[in-house]
Amino acid sequence: MPLTVSSISLPAAAREIAKPALDGLAVPGSGRLAELPWNWEVWVLVCLGLAVFGYAYGLRRLNPHARSRIFGILRIASFAAGIAALFVALISPLDALDDQLFSAHMVQHLLLMMVAAPLLVCSRPAMAFLWAFPMSTRRVIGRIWIAGGLHRSVTALMSPLAVWLLCSVVLWFWHLPGPYGWALANEGIHTLEHFCFFISALMFWSLVIEPFGRRRLDYGSTLIFVATLGVQNGLLGALLTLAGHPFYGAHFNTTEAWGLTPLEDQQLAGIIMWIPASVIHLTSLGVLFVMWMRHAEREARVAVPSRTRLSSSLAVQRYTTVLAILVTFGLSGCDRHGPASYWAMSGAHADRGPALMQKYGCAACHTIAGVPNARGQVGPPLAQFGRRAFIAGILSNNPDNLVKWLRSPQSVIPGNAMPDTGLTEQDARDIAAYLYGDT
């Protein structure tokens, strides 16, 4: 029943006078939000509940030191905010409103794809969920992950080109009037639509944010990746905003109650898709650019002085930074692991690696290419170490972390099977340089 102004509390006398005029005047929408139901659908609640439980339990099982290093307060807050965004999108009355207003539906999609997805990706949920299981189960999961071919399929699926194509297809397909109408007419298809949006957004943001630090797509290519998908999104938003007639039959009879014509509702949806989404895309581009510059600077600091012994005057440092940026530009796209110099260790002598690893007994536990008789099976083989995302499944793989691990594996994972071997800083750097040199 549409509400009328007369039901809003006006002083009785004024209401009496104005009654005849006000009674005919329906106040669109006002107060009706409160009438919309919450969507307490069991399976959505169970999924959200399981996610929160898995994350919290995983964190609880990690020792406090590892917890604060791998997660920290910001990532945990990011998880909470991501779940809150999912709650608003899927359970609050917004979910019921999306059947009536295209613009509300757009807000819901924006929450799923541009708010919940990046926040959740930042929070490293997969790592926490894994730790929710006991060690033996984690091992089984690891074995299935590798041997069952899952790892290979996910790697293929997460290739930037595949993700780019998937995101483009998902975006355009579900905004065609036909598929959009099917989604509104059938709850199952509606769920599938949201699933497509959410999963493709998680894949997109995983490649953009790379929460574990090891980039599958170098910075230059990531900028192009975000920009080209952002432009498609903006284009669709503009198209909806500027179109002369409404496209979506499903909303022809539902918008009037909210004081909007179907065309106005569509324009509002277009603007929501166009402006806030573009702001998020542009912000990501800005952040990526700053990270790219920082990365190039770090690279220049680590790699260049050790090779050419340039004087470290400020002018020369600036020059090398610019050079490194140009090199990165040149290499972006042709080397998806980034330039090899990223792995270079300043002042390290990779050629000392094999002898050192003999001396410290690494060969007894590890299989190491180029080290005679290093066929140990206690620890993992150390081939092509630079390609690995993690060191011992816990530290993101970079030179500083590798030196830290080699010098004191027991402080990183207390009680693990690799002993502290008393390596000096220099020896650790030489070994790290050797391991990264095997490509």
In the bound state with ligand HEC, the residue whose beta carbon lies nearer, of 313 and 373, is 373
Please pick, from the candidates 253, 261, 416, 439, the single residue that binds ligand HEC as defined by CB under 6 A: 416
Closest CB 218 distance from ligand HEC, rounded Å: 23
CB of 380 to ligand HEC, least distance (A): 4
What gap in Å lies between CA 368 and CA 376, rounded to an integer? Answer: 8
**Alpha carbon distances (Å) from 122 to 74, 125, 127, 143, 211:** 9, 8, 11, 26, 6
The answer for residues whose C-beta is within 8 angstroms of residue 287's C-beta and 6 or more apart is: none
Which residues are within 8 A (CB) of 303 and not within 5 positions of it... i.e. 6 or more apart? 324, 341, 342, 344, 346
305 lies in the site for ligand HEC, by CB under 6 A: no
Residue number, 317 or 421, with CB nearest to ligand HEC: 421
Q: Which stretch binds ligand HEC (CB under 6 A): 150-158, 252-260, 300-308, 416-424?
A: 416-424
Phi-psi region at 310: left, alpha or beta (left = phi > 0; alpha = psi -120 to 50)? beta
Is the Cα torsion angle 175, 178, 184, 186 positive or negative in sign? Answer: negative
C-alpha to C-alpha distance for 239 and 129, rounded to whole angstroms: 41
334-373 binders of ligand HEC (CB under 6 A):
357, 360-362, 364-366
Q: How many residues contact ligand HEC, by CB under 6 A?
A: 24
- Choosing from 63, 213, 419, 425, the residue that interacts with ligand HEC (CB under 6 A) is 419
Which of 380, 404, 426, 438 is close enough to bind ligand HEC by CB under 6 A? 380
The distance in angstroms from the start CA to the end CA of the chain is 70
Residues in the chain: 439
Contact predicate 108/98, CB 8 Å: yes
Within 170-189, the residues that bind ligand HEC by CB under 6 A are: none
- The residue to which tokens 């099976």 are assigned: 377
Among 423, 430, 436, 437, binds ligand HEC (CB under 6 A): 423
Closer residue to ligand HEC (CB): 168 or 408: 408
Q: CB of 125: closest distance to ligand HEC in angstroms?
A: 21
Alpha carbons 107 and 102: distance in angstroms, whole number: 9
Return the range that interacts with ligand HEC (CB under 6 A); candidates 52-60, 83-91, 231-239, 380-388: 380-388
C-beta of 76: minimal distance to ligand HEC in Å? 24
Q: Please tell me the distance from the alpha carbon of residue 371 to that of residue 351, in angstroms, as a whole number.
A: 11
Cβ distance 201 to 164 under 8 Å?
no
Q: Is 382 an interacting residue with respect to ligand HEC (CB under 6 A)?
A: yes
By the rule CB under 6 A, 418 interacts with ligand HEC: yes
Residue 218, classified by CB atoms within 10 Å of its CB into exposed (0-12), middle (13-18) or buried (19+), is buried
Scanning 88-96, 204-212, 259-267, 390-398 for contacts with ligand HEC by CB under 6 A, the matching segment is 390-398
The residue from 306, 379, 408, 438 that contacts ligand HEC (CB under 6 A) is 379
Stretch that binds ligand HEC, among 95-103, 150-158, 233-241, 419-427 (CB under 6 A): 419-427
Considering only the C-alpha atoms of the chain, give the largest distance between any 2 of them, rounded to a whole number of Å. 101
* Residues near ligand HEC (CB under 6 A): 357, 360-362, 364-366, 378-380, 382, 388, 391-393, 406, 413, 416-419, 421, 423, 431
